Structure 1
Amino acid sequence: MRRALAIFFVFISFQVSGQGVLDWWDQLHNYPDAAGPDRSRYINLSPGYLGPNAMIMPSLPNMTIDNEFWVQALGQTHAGNGDKTQNFFLKGNFPLARDRVMLYITSVPYETWEVTPETRDERRMMGLGGKGGNTGDVAYGVIFKVFREKHWLPFNFGFRLHTKTTTGGNLTNARSTDNSLYQWEGNFSKTMIEKEEEKLLLKASLGFVTWQTNKNRLPGGSNHNQNDAPYYGFGVEYLNRSWLLSSDVVGYTGYLGNRDYPHFFRTQVQYRFNRLALRTEYNYGLQSWDWNTFSLGVRYYILELLD
């Protein structure tokens, strides 16, 4: 009996202390009167109100189909929007049909972050200290090449289907959406220069992005359960022997107007020797995407898919 009472009082003490931890948050955000008793519904599921790894846009494809199996590991640092984040970024490329179909998988296995008090309160984060660590999302996509350049059409054309899973954690601190994201797009590329060890091509993309939001009617929130956005991008890619240089501007524009129109300018530089390549990337955030991201790492080429 004494043991049962002791367990009961310990449980009650944890409940009381747990409630007290969020007293500051309840008062600041008028909980539960503002948007109901579910605290997670107070988070704005929009790119400009989440961490930099919550709604990552995939790199713009060149539609020539990469026929090599490879894996990539990068270290990344993001700065801006009152948020400093560091993380690992992994990517694998898996050709399924030579010159026709490829699958890629990306992951943010772990991130650490620290935000200013102003950003913490604006995002309605529940961690008073404004810093921590958590896992990120796994995402994947399939690229289908439909037309090869100078066969039927004067340019390459194909489709990409991309989606983000819900493996990312820490929704209560606005680090992930805890909902899927879907992206459909048509992609074009046109070769402008093609020599034995040199190639220059232009690439473009038009598509559609959709994701679930929190219907909370709070400032920066949404009156709907879903946001849809046209997606677009334009870029250039240059290959010279072992060097690869690629730049693009991509973005999408949601219809809610709550910082749901991220655009960014990205540049990738890679030097390859044999099966190993050194790679660096720089992303400059535009409009509601206010982070600048620097990435550095390696890519290892395993083998090439044969006919």
Structure 2
Amino acid sequence: MRKLFLFVLFAVLSFSSFAEEDWGWWNELHGWKTGMPGWRNWIIISPAYLGPNALPVPEVKKGFFLNESEFALTASTHFHSGDPTQDISGRLFIPFAKGKIAVEMYGVMMEHYAYTEEIRNERFSRDKDGKGAAIGDFYFSTLIQLTRDRKFPNTLFRMALRTASGGKLDAARYSDAPGYFFDVSSSKDFGTRESLLFRPYGMIGFYSWQTNDELMLQNDALLYGLGTEWEHNSWRLGASWSGYHGYKNTGDRPMQLNFDLRKDFSKSAISLQYQHGLHDWLYKTLRFSFIWKFNAVK
């Protein structure tokens, strides 16, 4: 019995020593010592210090939505000299109440990352080799069509909730915390689709997410976007400028340019998008989507 006790004690001490030695590189690199705040407090919960899908700028809505249900499957590549990332995401959009209300659900199903040692250290990541895979956050939003096809501009209200389903906080990929945003978007149509339709649009809103700052657990931001879109028959081409402005100024003011091209068919569509980061989100992202269209709920 005594030998068994000594064996168990030796195994526990060995395991504890191994665990401590395993994180020794991180402790030494960042000067962490016993009694200091845990590693979670070192992660900076802002778009500049997390992966490209952690706190993205929400899609700029255009003041209206079509009364068509869609499911989209998207492959994305995020170009970054220190953090190249690829992911597969999905989106389900279902309108009802005769096209006056819609629900939208989307999220990253799988993300692959491989970042450099410099990025790892800058983000206080504990993923030593900087390589791996992660599941993203899930979003649920409700859209309400306030006005459409009237003398007054098309106007749409959106409210969205982001869950904390994303993993790999230790690798600084997702925030492991919830958030929400709401906005109002408006647009005005000039011309017709058969010739050439021109549509300027804008968006203004509020974005808030939980952080790990014990003094200010929530970061609030002004959400904004401006853009134009051209339509000709079944083709759509758009460009926009968007971002949000957090109040902490800790890499929480992302700004980007967005370009998208879409071709619609009778029961499907394809879309190509490009996003160019300008500030606090410095990725260059290319997305390809295949979209299935099915009957809307009446």
TM-score normalized by the length of structure 1:
0.90
The residue aligned with 1:268 is 260
**Count of residue correspondences:** 297
Does the 8 A contact of 1:81 with 1:290 survive in 2?
no
Superposed counterparts of 1:1-307, under 5 Å: 1=1, 6-32=7-33, 36-80=36-80, 82-150=82-150, 154-196=152-194, 198-215=196-213, 224-306=216-298
Provide closer, same or farther for how the CA distance between residues 107 and 252 of structure 1 changes in structure 2, counting only shifts above 3 A: same
- The Cα shift of 1:129 comes to 0.6
Does the 8 A contact of 2:75 with 2:287 survive in 1?
yes
What is the aligned-residue identity percentage? 29
Question: Aligned partners of 2:19, 2:37: CA distance in 1, in Å?
Answer: 15
Q: Which amino acid aligns with 1:108?
A: V
Provide closer, same or farther for how the CA distance between residues 215 and 36 of structure 1 changes in structure 2, counting only shifts above 3 A: farther
Question: What SS is found at the alignment partner of 2:190?
Answer: strand
Question: Aligned partners of 2:139, 2:91: CA distance in 1, in Å?
Answer: 9
Question: Aligned partners of 2:194, 2:167: CA distance in 1, in Å?
Answer: 47
Deviations 1:29-82 (A, max 9, x none): 12147x934211110001100000101223211222221111101111112262
Does the 8 A contact of 2:77 with 2:85 survive in 1?
yes
Question: Aligned partners of 1:32, 1:81: CA distance in 2, in Å?
Answer: 32
TM-score normalized by the length of structure 2:
0.93
Using the TM superposition, name which of 124-133 and 207-216 deviates more: 207-216
Runs of 4+ off more than 6 Å = none
Root-mean-square deviation (CA, aligned residues, Å) is 2.0
Does the 8 A contact of 1:156 with 1:188 survive in 2?
yes
Deviations 1:161-181 (A, max 9, x none): 022110000101110011111
Provide closer, same or farther for how the CA distance between residues 92 and 46 of structure 1 changes in structure 2, counting only shifts above 3 A: same
- The Cα shift of 1:194 comes to 2.5
Using the TM superposition, name which of 46-55 and 187-196 deviates more: 187-196
- The Cα shift of 1:8 comes to 4.8
Does the 8 A contact of 2:64 with 2:156 survive in 1?
no
Question: Aligned partners of 1:250, 1:81: CA distance in 2, in Å?
Answer: 23
Structure 1: gaps of 5 or more residues: 217-222
